[in-house]
Amino acid sequence: MPWIIKYRPKHINDVVNQDEAKQKLINWLKAWEEGKVEKKAILLHGPAGCGKTSLVEAIAKTFKYQLFEMNASDSRRKVDIERIAKAASQTAGIMGRRIILLDEVDGLDPRADAGGVEALIEVIKNTRNPIIMTANNPYQEHLRPLRDVAELVPMKRLSERDVITVLERICKSENLYCEPGALREIAKRSEGDLRSAINDLEAAAALNKKVTLDTVKAVSTYRNRVHAPWEALQKMFNSSYIFQAREAVTSTDLTHDEFITWINEHIPTYYENPEEMWRAYEALSRADIYLGRIVKTQNWDLLSYAIEMMGPGVAFARTAYKYRWKAFKMPEKIKLLAEAKKSREYREALAEVLASRLLTSKAIVKSDVIPYLRVIFTQNPAYAAKIVLGYKLPEELVKWLAGTRAKDVLSYVKKGKK
Ligand SMILES: Nc1ncnc2c1ncn2[C@@H]1O[C@H](COP(=O)(O)OP(=O)(O)O)[C@@H](O)[C@H]1O
Ligand SMILES: [Mg+2]
């Protein structure tokens, strides 16, 4: 049994340094018992490996609740949501009290499953049992509806000291001798993530019955932290060695296609010499060809060539090494995609407002009404202003419809209001 499972806290006292979150949960559960809760759900949030799942499980064990658990980023979500909805809607009976745990709700993918969040909201509205959700980052846009119905309870990133406390406990129970420096090193590298710390300890112990600083250094590489695109570009274009350029390419959470877009836009930023630029584009285009062939043939062996070309190939197109720091800029292509998305949102919002007022469908508004509005808003601002007032359209939408004439329309709106 992996240690991260074996050493899960069994009692809330085993959960280290999360006293505020503990107390809040306990008070809230008590309020539930007395039928006095304001919000029927809690959204417990904090960094990975700080004990979110463990805390809920430990509370259930300590206070003898049955735990109904669903991992929201699971692919079998539809079935699971039904199962959870059923469990949530039943009153506690002979089977005893229950807690519903919706783990990792930030794993819900709004594109793959548009109804996921709505389904959970329904469950929360109708629940007769306390619901606890967890998330690393609850502030993502698609989670807003969940934030509205739940009370947010934060958990802390664990300190090195906390991590060491838990590791020492494990060493004792495994009869493992550890150099103090070794545990400190693991704790430092974990950045408060106990899951990765416990995994590192287990890996070091598997190598050697005595955990030394050297074994720790051998098994626990600093986790490949995800880099922001501009950090990765900076590293890639300035790498001194082939392997650094290669690592930079794989250090972001972008797809290779997306990273190619970033590199593509930045070659002229980093290179001034036309020959260097030409060689860089040559390498990048080869990477693109390899990626295209992978898609066609599913031959993933080609991936290493693609990476070699887009990273080292581009970075070593230079004729001489010179450190180049360049200000980050967002690729035009990605900006355009973002604007297209924004535009879709505006169309959607406008259709929402107008469809009911015009007694027609949103689809008709989008296909037949909006194009006319666009003409009116760009050609006849005075008339456009009347429409704005009549339908109470927000300024944002006016700007979108009128484009460069937005100012004219808005000044007529001002006059009209007077
Ligand atoms: N505060 C804590 N006290 C004790 N053990 C913890 C704590 N936080 C995490 N752990 C341990 O780390 C592992 C991962 O914890 P988990 O609760 O799954 O983290 P999260 O859900 O926040 O990502 C578990 O094995 C657990 O035993
Ligand atoms: Mg968890």
Residue 194 Cβ contacting ligand 1 at under 6 Å: yes
* Least confident interval from 168-172, 322-326, 368-372: 322-326
- The percentage of residues in the chain with a pLDDT greater than 90, rounded to a whole number, is 41
Residue 4 Cβ contacting ligand 1 at under 6 Å: yes
Q: How confident is the model at residue 68 (pLDDT cuts 50, 70, 90)?
A: confident
Q: Would the pLDDT of 9 be above 90?
A: yes
State the distance from the centre of ligand 2 to the C-alpha of 104, rounded, in angstroms. Answer: 7
State the distance from the centre of ligand 2 to the C-alpha of 56, rounded, in angstroms. Answer: 10
DSSP 3-state of 172:
helix
Q: What's the CA angle centered on 258, arms 256 and 259, to 5 degrees?
A: 65
Average pLDDT for the chain: 86
Q: How confident is the model at residue 206 (pLDDT cuts 50, 70, 90)?
A: confident
* Least confident interval from 183-197, 227-241, 285-299: 227-241
If you average pLDDT over residues 366-395, what whole number do you get? Answer: 90
Distance (Å, whole) CA 31 – CA 29: 5
pLDDT of residue 205: 86
Q: Which residue has the tokens 């735990």?
A: 67
pLDDT of residue 114: 66
Locate 355 and state its tokens. 């469809």
- The percentage of residues in the chain with a pLDDT greater than 70, rounded to a whole number, is 91
Residue 170 Cβ contacting ligand 1 at under 6 Å: no
pLDDT of residue 118: 83
Residue 8 Cβ contacting ligand 1 at under 6 Å: yes
**pTM score:** 0.58
Residue 192 Cβ contacting ligand 1 at under 6 Å: no
pLDDT of residue 92: 66
State the distance from the centre of ligand 1 to the C-alpha of 24, rounded, in angstroms. Answer: 18
Residue 312 Cβ contacting ligand 1 at under 6 Å: no
* Least confident interval from 37-46, 149-158, 223-232: 223-232
Looking at the CA of 155, name the nearest ligand: 1
Atom 1 of ligand 1, nearest CA residue: 16
pLDDT of residue 221: 55
Q: Which residues, by Cβ under 5 Å, contact ligand 2, an ion?
A: 52-53
Distance (Å, whole) CA 236 – CA 245: 5
Distance (Å, whole) CA 326 – CA 98: 56
Residue 196 Cβ contacting ligand 1 at under 6 Å: no
Locate 282 and state its tokens. 């040559």
Backbone angles phi, psi at 283, to 5 degrees: -65, -40
* Least confident interval from 62-71, 246-255, 313-322, 376-385: 246-255
With contact defined as beta carbons under 8 Å apart, do 268 and 235 qualify? no
Q: Would the pLDDT of 192 be above 90?
A: no
pLDDT of residue 302: 92
Locate 171 and state its tokens. 């060493």
